[in-house]
Amino acid sequence: MQIEALVEQITNQIMQQLTNKQELKEAKPVVSGNVTYKEGSSSNIITGPSVARMIDHTLLKPEASKDQIVKLCEEAKEHKFATVCVNPYWVQTAAKELKGSGVGITTVVGFPLGATSTFVKIAETRDAIANGATEIDMVINVGALKSGDFETVKKDIEGVVLAAKGHAPVKVIIETGLLEIEEKKKACILAKMAGADFVKTSTGFGPGCATAEDIKLMREAVGPDMGVKASACVRDLDTARKLIQAGATRIGASSSIAIITGGQGTGY
């Protein structure tokens, strides 16, 4: 079945179940806090407040409670972060807490392994948007990439991009800690070819951390007009600065408050 037909089929099925909801009808494309990359960003202008609008304030722990999600949203409103990043189950809660705040809602698809089918990723995407998500972070099919099945990887991303089109930008998590240098480059190029809005380093559940070297490589692969998100082990302002100088336009972190206040975080 062609990707377009698959997206339409899944969309119709989900919309039939959600006819009493208005969120999807009201949804508009949002690219919250994305900053156009400019080579040679000066560290002396990368301050805590300027970084805040580049941060996806993240809580993806499986044991996260409703109280913790509500607190995450309150912090995001107070510090004017770009979005909160939560698991799909918590999207409705976040949408309620953040209504009218200007803070977006990122959720994850095919998370954290990327090994679900394209059909499932499309369904997750449409359901998340219907529930109030404004940005989608999807995990690529890492196994297909490492097998050299680049067409499958591209079509997998395309399915999510088409499902989200007109409602939410898509960030593609390539899981850099599992990839060789050439695989990282290919993953970024495939994401760009598939129409994604960002490439992203990591889920935070895999090996390794976001590095300036990986961000530079990713930026070179996608060019200046696509977003690059650094995530995993970004716990202080100095690290965030180095990643931004290397080409990052978005930061994923649970240590967001430490980053913007000059402290040292311990989380994701």
H or E segment to which residue 229 belongs: strand 227-231
- Contacts for 135 with CB less than 8 Å, ≥ 6 apart: 30, 31, 32, 56, 83, 104, 105, 106, 107, 168, 169, 170, 171
Q: Which residues pair with 230 in a beta bridge?
A: 251
H or E segment to which residue 252 belongs: strand 250-253
CA–CA separation, 155 and 162 (whole Å): 10
Residue among 137, 156, 197, 214 flagged as catalytic:
137
Does the CA dihedral 250-87-106-122 come out positive or negative? positive
The 3-state DSSP class for residue 142 equals helix
CA–CA separation, 131 and 35 (whole Å): 26
The question of whether 229 is a catalytic residue gets the answer: yes
Q: In sequence order, what E strands does 75-178 have?
A: 83-86, 104-109, 135-139, 170-173
Phi and psi at residue 7, to the nearest 5°: -60, -45
CA-nearest of 106, 145, 144, 147 to 125 is 106
The 3-state DSSP class for residue 66 equals helix
CA–CA separation, 115 and 142 (whole Å): 7
The question of whether 200 is a catalytic residue gets the answer: yes
Residue among 155, 184, 200, 242 flagged as catalytic:
200
Catalytic residue positions, numbered:
137, 200, 229
